[in-house]
Chain A
Amino acid sequence: MSLIKLENVSVYFQSEKNPRERVGALVGMNLEIAPGEIIAVVGESGCGKTTLGKVITDIYQPTEGRLLFKGKDVRSLDKREYREYRLAVQMIHQDSYAALNPNRTIFQSLSLPLLQHRLVKNRQEAWDQLVELFTEIGLTPPEQFLEKYPHQLSGGQRQRILLARALSVRPSLIVADEPVSMVDVSLRISLLDLMARANKKYGISFVYITHDLGTARYIAHHGRIAVMYLGRMVEQNQIQAALDRPAHPYFHALISAVPEADPTLRDGRMERLPLKSFDMPSVTNAPSGCKFHPRCPYAEAVCEREEPGLREFRGGLVACHLVEKIKASNGNRS
């Protein structure tokens, strides 16, 4: 049984100016998360990836569709089951400074959920447990970190503390929303390694939300990737397969735009991106039919009329009317 399942979930926000106008931040999303799995969700800003994370953690409630936790609709859970769900699904935010109370020491902040949920009997037990956890994730000496305030720590250390906070309640799923984009480059990998280790050791599932394909590939290289565009999922596949043979024209363009660090490979960089326009259409005024058609170099009349649904293609899922045709005309180069 899947841990979390999204059934046809849509989230609409009402426009402030015109209450009758609705903005689809997330439209018709279907996703299943199995225990112990890592899923990377990628897309550009405004594609709905953060909204997806907030639906999974029940911060936003779906306007349409259902969120299922272990096969049960989250809305129909009783009080005890809902508590279990809230403990089981944790979140790590992008801005570690905003996510910690500046007036509390790290111990005050981190012991609260443990005491609240009676995972420990008293403060001493909470202290011992956090010391053990901090040692495990490399915040040593732990006593020193527990007594500090957030502003006394560096960004990388605060991000580790957020990971520790998420791990401390022994969750089954952690939603990590851009956890390393504000961390120094030399420290990013060590944080990703910690998450990968938590995944292996405790079987915790991760939903890794990012715009950075490089780190997505790093953490989820055995897992799946879901590509989003203007609130829709446009492609889903095993991550390496998706990167080697992107099916959707948008994902293909996105991969081509990723800069390559090694200067010897710079000549292999594409001279032109396979895109008609570089500017993302606004979510409030989304195009008809396939949301990508104004920028898609392959678009035909059908793309303007009908919005494609996700369907199977070479082991993955893709939402494109013309994918077979595009792949055939490209001679499967990409």
Chain B
Amino acid sequence: MTEPILEVKNLTVEFKLHNRTIRAVDDVSLTVNRGEIVGIIGESGSGKTTLVSGILNLVQSPGRVTSGQVIYHPKGGKPVDLRTLSPEEFSRYRWTNLTSVFQAAQNVLNPTLRVKEHFLETAWAHDPKAKEEDVLAKARELLSQVRLEERVLDCYPHQLSGGMKQRTIIALSLILNPDIIFLDEPTTALDVITQWYILEILKRIQKDHGLTMVFCTHDVSIIGSVVDRLGVMYAGELIEYGPVFSMFQKPTHPYTAGLMTAIPSLRDDVTKRKAIPGNPPDLANLPDACRFAPRCFAHAQGLCEGDRARTRQLYPSHPEQYTRCYSWEKVLKK
């Protein structure tokens, strides 16, 4: 099961603003294995969405992918570096192999088209000869998997509730049998009960179709109940990556540890919750030190000098777990 499906190597995305350059994604490398659910968490502005846009070649001007490789391994085929493809070649992979469900998905549907036309347009864009009945039959099957009735096909988007639209889009993203699906905040702005339902559907689809999922969110609590592997982003960098159980029990980056204790839940001891001091960094004005140093307790206590040069790589901490904190052993003792 540990066959890679996607390898991201040293991906950097920069935005040129006035005379400054902002690195929204800074030298991120990670490997996603086939059939896994990978979660990526981070606060707003940490670069989650930009990372996904970078992988899918969707970065918009003034942003630009300045370096890196995105290697995709098709089933039984030769690996391809998606970064070297022309836009036309890339569009053959998009939606047939790699697909995405973005945040505020409610606005993705065209208000003047019926749901069924969305399915047909997408299918015809990739195969103009596809038969209408075949596409609709497949659409009906997918809609029933996300527990929507057939009549939804004849509805306009405004006739659907937020949760129904989100389910429609999940069904739509699966119409061409992709291998890997990127979900960016798929349940934000939905009610708790709808959220529960969508997560349930996603987990089942992942099992039935053997899909690989990459799940971006700021909400740590939904990650815990869904993903296998977890990546944490901070100020454009991937600061820790590893299996979800070990990340929760033995986080080896002070930011990950802080995040895990910052979320109030329904069961734990209220008095043990603690906020991370300080504010999220301003990407245009980063310290010339470890990105997390201004908020880090180890740095504040003088345990770690926060040397920028030494945070340019990831260090193995536990089996399959990597951290950007070079003082992680000292941090862990605390």
Contact = CB atoms under 8 A, between A and B. Distances in A.
**Which residue, A269, A273, A278, has most C-beta atoms of chain B within 10 A?**
A278
A125 B186 CA distance: 49
Given A214-B266, A261-B224, A187 B276 contact: yes
Contact of A260 (B194, B221, B245, B279): B221
Contact of A188 (B245, B265, B275, B279): B275
B264 A280 contact: no
A185 B280 CA distance: 10
Interface string B247-274: 0110000000011101111110010011
A302 interface: no
Interface in A167-209: 184-190, 192-193
B81 interface: no
B259 A186 contact: yes
A278 B196 CA distance: 10
A295 to B, nearest CB: 9
B85 interface: no
Interface stretch (A61-69, A84-92, A103-111, A250-258): A250-258
B197 A278 contact: yes
Contacts of B150: none
B38 interface: no
Contact of A214 (B43, B193, B265, B275): B265
A263 interface: yes
A36 B145 CA distance: 50
Nearest to B46: A184
Contact of B192 (A185, A243, A258, A261): A258
Contact of B245 (A189, A263, A275): A263
Contact of A257 (B195, B218, B258): B195
Interface in A113-135: none
A258 B130 CA distance: 42
Nearest to B220: A261
B270 A221 contact: yes
Contact of A217 (B147, B191, B262, B264): B264
Interface residues of A, number: 43
Interface in B41-89: 43-44
Nearest to B187: A259
Nearest to A180: B264
A269 B266 CA distance: 13
Contacts of A185: 43, 218-220, 259, 262-263
A265 B267 CA distance: 10
B199 interface: yes
A154 B273 CA distance: 23
Given A186-B276, A257-B195, A218 B264 contact: yes
Contacts of B267: 260, 265
A44 B195 CA distance: 11
Given A189-B274, A259-B221, A156 B279 contact: yes
Given A189-B262, A193-B275, A218-B264, A259 B196 contact: yes
B40 interface: no
A221 B270 CA distance: 8
Task: Give the interface size bracket for B toward A.
Answer: 35 or more
B163 A260 contact: no
Interface in B217-234: 218-225, 227
Contacts of A258: 192, 221, 265-266
Given A185-B259, A217-B264, A243-B266, A254 B163 contact: no
Given A186-B276, A280-B191, A259 B163 contact: no
Contacts, number: 130
Contact of B279 (A44, A187, A262, A265): A187
B164 interface: yes
Nearest to A216: B264
B161 interface: yes
A331 to B, nearest CB: 21
Interface string A15-32: 000000000000000000
Contacts of A257: 192-193, 195-196
Nearest to A189: B275
Given A157-B279, A187-B275, A217 B218 contact: no
Interface string B188-204: 00011111110100000
Given A184-B44, A189-B273, A259 B195 contact: yes
Contacts of B260: 261
B263 A253 contact: no
Contacts of B44: 155, 184
Given A187-B279, A269-B225, A273-B196, A44 B191 contact: yes
Contacts of A259: 195-196, 199, 219, 221-222, 224-225
Interface in B168-196: 191-196
Given A258-B192, A278-B193, A189 B264 contact: yes
A171 B194 CA distance: 37
Contact of A266 (B196, B220, B224): B224
Contacts of A190: 275, 277
A45 interface: yes
A291 interface: no
Given A187-B275, A190-B277, A214-B221, 11 more contacts: A44-B192, A156-B280, A186-B262, A255-B266, A256-B196, A258-B192, A258-B266, A259-B224, A261-B224, A261-B225, A279-B163
25 contacts: A44-B193, A184-B43, A185-B219, A186-B280, A187-B280, A188-B275, A189-B264, A189-B274, A189-B275, A193-B275, A214-B221, A214-B264, A217-B270, A218-B270, A256-B196, A257-B195, A259-B225, A261-B221, A261-B225, A262-B224, A266-B225, A273-B197, A278-B163, A279-B163, A280-B191
In the A-B complex, list the 5 residue pairs whose CB atoms are closest, starting with the nearest: A190-B275, A218-B264, A257-B196, A189-B275, A186-B276
Interface of A: 44-45, 154-157, 184-190, 192-193, 211, 213-215, 217-218, 221, 243, 253-266, 269, 273, 275, 278-280
